[in-house]
Amino acid sequence: MDGKRNNAPAIGIDLGTTYSCVAVWKHGRIEIIPNDQGNRTTPSCVAFSDAERLIGDSAKNQVAMNPANTIFDAKRLIGRRFGDSKVQDDMKLWPFRVIQGPVDTPKIVVSYKGEENEFLAEEISSMILGKMKETAESYLGKVVKDSVITVPAYFNDSQRQATKDAGAIAELNVIRIINEPTAAAIAYGLDNKSDITCKINVLVFDLGGGTFDVSLLTMAEGGGTLEVKAVAGDTHLGGEDFDSRMVHHCAQEFNRRWNKDLTGNKRALGRLRCACEKAKRILSCNNLTSIDLDCLHEGIDFSMKFSRAKFEVLNMGFFVKCIETVEACLRDAKMEKPYVNEVILVGGSTRIPKVQCMLQEFFERKELCKSVNPDEAVAYGAAVMAAKLSGNNHKSCRDLLLLDVTPLSLGVGILGDIFDVVIPRNTPIPTKKSKVYNTSRDNQPCVDVQVYQGERTRSTDNHLLGTFRISGIPPAPKGIAKLEYCFEIDANCILTVTAKILSTGKTEKLTITNANGRLCMEEIEKMMEDAVKYKQEDQEYRKRADAFNALEECIYNMKNKIKNMENCKRLKKMERGIADTTKWLEQNQAASVDELHRMKKHLESICMPKFWFVNNVC
Ligand code: AMP
């Protein structure tokens, strides 16, 4: 990208669990940017091998051969603890290894260039973001810096912060984190602006690869002003879970038939997962499909029919949960079903007929809106937001006004393991709220403030965002000294907490540090350096592969050229040159770029001298 002027527009990135998508505002409209394979979405997949690192389609394409070092689902790990029961459940079905790092952070272990490497979920996500950045840069021909990245509406503060960190590692300036369903609603509003002639209520049902969100919004006439009323969801529910149920079912069936457990065979699990995902997609159109895998485990072939009915039975629990979440969202927004004017489907898993059918039944046979592209709407909306935030003066950007809410309640842990809420869920953001607390002991010199996020009564059942100490409280009987805790949520839905001793005015601020699992600045910088190093290695590898292929192609072309050549004085010399180069290549598989170039030039000088022949006659 050297030499390209750094005035690229801000981009919008949908960093999905299974697929990611990047878009930009160009020529007065949004363009979804295709990747180097021409695909409009890119698998959120990173693979490591003895020779190279692959990201996106190339990583996904080799998963069956290299399952233990092909990483997907980083979004299901990001901002979570290793001990989290969801992480522990997922680990059982992942073909790659996850270990417990410092402060209970999960670390992914891979073998890369013959060495064991450990990566945080933030780093893997940063590699995917880096790929999306590169995709945009080659399309725009400019260095991209500013971006809007989307996250599930139901992501907590740690997951949002970790996503922001992933952006920083990828050298992206994350100007805003926005919620995926909100981004989809922006896309819907823009697409339908002329049809939105009065205020309408819109429910976005976003079921993707790993997360599920429901958002209820009101949209003003023209679709430009969006006010989120309530969100609900599950950051651990999506297409991957449906795949896992299928994998589990197939593994059981294999065990029943052959009395052999394949769950320890990572390669078999990886192949089975791919086959199940494909079968699942087919079952969205057909009633029956089959899963056929040669030599799946211990040389045994596996073949089984899979019906749509079976798929639905296996996953009915998840589907019911989706509908219950819609109910909860309506309850929180205090809105009755008939007042919902539009139900918008987003995310690849909304293509499942049973999901559509149950949702339609819930809304008393209302037509569901499928006009937005479920795979692209989120990136589309993010790009509109990116354009607006970077000052694009187009009417659609200028008119966009977004009023979002905080998805989960925020508060502190108080005596008796009680969670005391300071900001209730679904409060419009940005917001700032304060609450005053007393000391609980006589002459208490300090208080350890524990900040939680969640909906449970016991504080320890919620997600601990961080702890900080405020000291220097003047001696006083219990209940007399007063402390004010101020919670502030910015437009990214990211939180800052300050505590103040009211009698002295002394304040202390919570910065979520490494001790809470968050990366510190030095770690981010170190990861940024690593990212540059990996990128350089990738480029060098690609250069070498190109040089290798060029020499192979040259040998092939020369062989063809001399095939029909007769009466040529140089023929013998050419044949020898081709044979020598072929042998050299076989013996020097690890040759450097320079050596490969030199050999190619040498072969060309033998077979294509300056006084080259006309019509293959020399
Ligand atoms: P997203 O995160 O929105 O990209 O959605 C990806 C998820 O949608 C993956 O789990 C896919 O397997 C799933 N998906 C995509 N197309 C279909 C389909 N036709 N039927 C069922 N699931 C699908």
Read off the pLDDT of residues 537-562 as tens digits, 9 standing for 90 and up. 888 888 888 899 899 999 988 888 88
Q: What is the pLDDT of residue 5?
A: 46
In order of 169, 200, 323, 363, the CA distances from 330 in angstroms are 38, 15, 11, 12
For ligand 1, atom 20, which residue shows the shortest CA distance?
281
Question: How far does residue 352's CA lie from ligand 1's centre (Å)?
Answer: 8
Is the confidence at residue 616, as pLDDT, over 60?
Answer: no
Question: How far does residue 544's CA lie from ligand 1's centre (Å)?
Answer: 36
For ligand 1, atom 16, which residue shows the shortest CA distance?
348
- Residue 455: pLDDT band by 50, 70, 90 thresholds? confident
Is the confidence at residue 209, as pLDDT, over 60?
Answer: yes
What whole-number distance in Å separates Cα of residue 77 and Cα of residue 120?
Answer: 9
Q: What is the pLDDT of residue 1?
A: 45
- Identify whether the C-beta of residue 240 lies closer than 8 Å to the C-beta of residue 76: yes
CA 379 vs. chain centroid, Å, equals 12
pLDDT mean over 371-394:
93
Is the confidence at residue 93, as pLDDT, over 90?
Answer: no
What digits encode the pLDDT tens for the residues 121-143?
Answer: 999 999 999 999 999 999 999 99
Q: Which residues are catalytic?
A: 14, 75, 180, 206
What whole-number distance in Å separates Cα of residue 398 and Cα of residue 388?
Answer: 6
Which atom of ligand 1 lies nearest, measured to the CA of 238? 10
What whole-number distance in Å separates Cα of residue 20 and Cα of residue 31?
Answer: 15
With the most atoms of ligand 1 within 8 angstroms of its CB, the residue from 18, 42, 235, 308 to mutate is 18
What digits encode the pLDDT tens for the residues 305-343?
Answer: 999 999 999 999 999 999 999 999 999 999 999 999 999
DSSP H or E run through 115: strand 115-120
For ligand 1, atom 15, which residue shows the shortest CA distance?
348
Is the confidence at residue 260, as pLDDT, over 80?
Answer: yes
Look at 12 and 573; give whichever has higher pLDDT: 12
Which atom of ligand 1 lies nearest, measured to the CA of 41? 4
For ligand 1, atom 8, which residue shows the shortest CA distance?
348
Question: How far does residue 78's CA lie from ligand 1's centre (Å)?
Answer: 20
What whole-number distance in Å separates Cα of residue 145 and Cα of residue 234?
Answer: 31
Which atom of ligand 1 lies nearest, measured to the CA of 19? 4
Q: What is the pLDDT of residue 609?
A: 62
Which atom of ligand 1 lies nearest, measured to the CA of 17? 2
DSSP class per residue in 523-567: HHHHHHHHHHHHHHHHHHHHHHHHHHHHHHHHHHHHHHHHHT--S
Q: Mean pLDDT over all residues of the chain?
A: 90
Is the confidence at residue 517, as pLDDT, over 70?
Answer: no
The residues, ordered by sequence, that sit 6+ positions from 545 with a Cβ below 8 Å of its Cβ are: none
Pairing relationship of beta strands 200-207 and 342-346 according to DSSP bridges? parallel
Q: Which of 38-52, 289-303, 518-532 has the lowest mean pLDDT?
A: 518-532
Which atom of ligand 1 lies nearest, measured to the CA of 16? 2
For ligand 1, atom 19, which residue shows the shortest CA distance?
281
What digits encode the pLDDT tens for the residues 413-451?
Answer: 988 888 999 999 999 999 999 999 999 889 999 999 999
Q: Which of 400-409, 465-474, 560-569 has the lowest mean pLDDT?
A: 560-569
pLDDT mean over 152-168:
92
Name the packing angle between helices 157-169 and 521-563 (round to 10°): 50
Q: If we measure between CA atoms, which residue out of 91, 344, 110 comes closest to residue 204?
A: 344
Q: Which residue bears the tokens 């996106």?
A: 56
Question: How far does residue 347's CA lie from ligand 1's centre (Å)?
Answer: 7
Domain 406-518 fold: Substrate Binding Domain Of DNAk; Chain A, domain 1 (2.60.34)
Which atom of ligand 1 lies nearest, measured to the CA of 285? 19
3-state SS, residue 62: coil
Question: How far does residue 18's CA lie from ligand 1's centre (Å)?
Answer: 8
Neighbours of 593 (CB within 10 A): 14
Q: What is the pLDDT of residue 232?
A: 93
Q: Which structure tokens are listed for 368?
A: 């569901």
With the most atoms of ligand 1 within 8 angstroms of its CB, the residue from 311, 349, 354, 378 to mutate is 349
Q: What is the pLDDT of residue 514?
A: 46
pLDDT mean over 223-248:
92
Question: How far does residue 19's CA lie from ligand 1's centre (Å)?
Answer: 9
For ligand 1, atom 3, which residue shows the shortest CA distance?
347
Phi, psi of 44 (to 5 degrees): -80, 70
The residues, ordered by sequence, that sit 6+ positions from 364 with a Cβ below 8 Å of its Cβ are: 337, 338
Question: How far does residue 209's CA lie from ligand 1's centre (Å)?
Answer: 6
Class of the CATH domain delimited by 522-607: mainly alpha
Which atom of ligand 1 lies nearest, measured to the CA of 374? 3
For ligand 1, atom 14, which residue shows the shortest CA distance?
348
Question: How far does residue 181's CA lie from ligand 1's centre (Å)?
Answer: 16
Q: What is the pLDDT of residue 4?
A: 44
Look at 513 and 337; give whichever has higher pLDDT: 337
Domain 239-315 grouped into CATH 3.90.640.10 = yes
- Identify whether the C-beta of residue 15 lies closer than 8 Å to the C-beta of residue 124: no
- DSSP assigned state of 40: S
Q: What is the pLDDT of residue 562?
A: 82
Residues with Cβ within 6 A of ligand 1?
16-19, 208-209, 239-240, 277, 280-281, 284, 347-349, 351-352, 375
Most confident of 81-95, 109-123, 457-471, 595-609: 109-123
Q: If we measure between CA atoms, which residue out of 240, 233, 206 comes closest to residue 75?
A: 240
Question: How far does residue 174's CA lie from ligand 1's centre (Å)?
Answer: 27
For ligand 1, atom 1, which residue shows the shortest CA distance?
208
Q: Which structure tokens are listed for 75?
A: 């979004």
pTM of structure? 0.85
Report the CATH superfamily, name and number, of domain 2-237+318-403.
ATPase, nucleotide binding domain (3.30.420.40)
DSSP H or E run through 73: none
pLDDT mean over 212-218:
95
- Residue 457: pLDDT band by 50, 70, 90 thresholds? confident
Neighbours of 305 (CB within 10 A): 11
**Domains 2-237+318-403 and 522-607 alike in fold:** no
Is the confidence at residue 531, as pLDDT, over 90?
Answer: no
Task: Give the domain ranges of the chain.
Answer: 2-237+318-403, 239-315, 406-518, 522-607
CA dihedral 111, 117, 122, 123 (to 10 degrees): -80
With the most atoms of ligand 1 within 8 angstroms of its CB, the residue from 15, 60, 280, 355 to mutate is 280
- DSSP assigned state of 440: S
What whole-number distance in Å separates Cα of residue 407 and Cα of residue 332?
Answer: 11
Look at 256 and 395; give whichever has higher pLDDT: 256
Which atom of ligand 1 lies nearest, measured to the CA of 348? 8
Give the helix, strand, coil percentages of the chain, each rounded to 5: 40, 30, 30
With the most atoms of ligand 1 within 8 angstroms of its CB, the residue from 40, 207, 247, 281 to mutate is 281
Question: How far does residue 614's CA lie from ligand 1's centre (Å)?
Answer: 57
Q: Which residue bears the tokens 């819930």?
A: 362
Is the confidence at residue 152, as pLDDT, over 50?
Answer: yes
- Residue 610: pLDDT band by 50, 70, 90 thresholds? low
For ligand 1, atom 4, which residue shows the shortest CA distance?
19
Q: What is the pLDDT of residue 518?
A: 62
DSSP H or E run through 405: strand 401-405
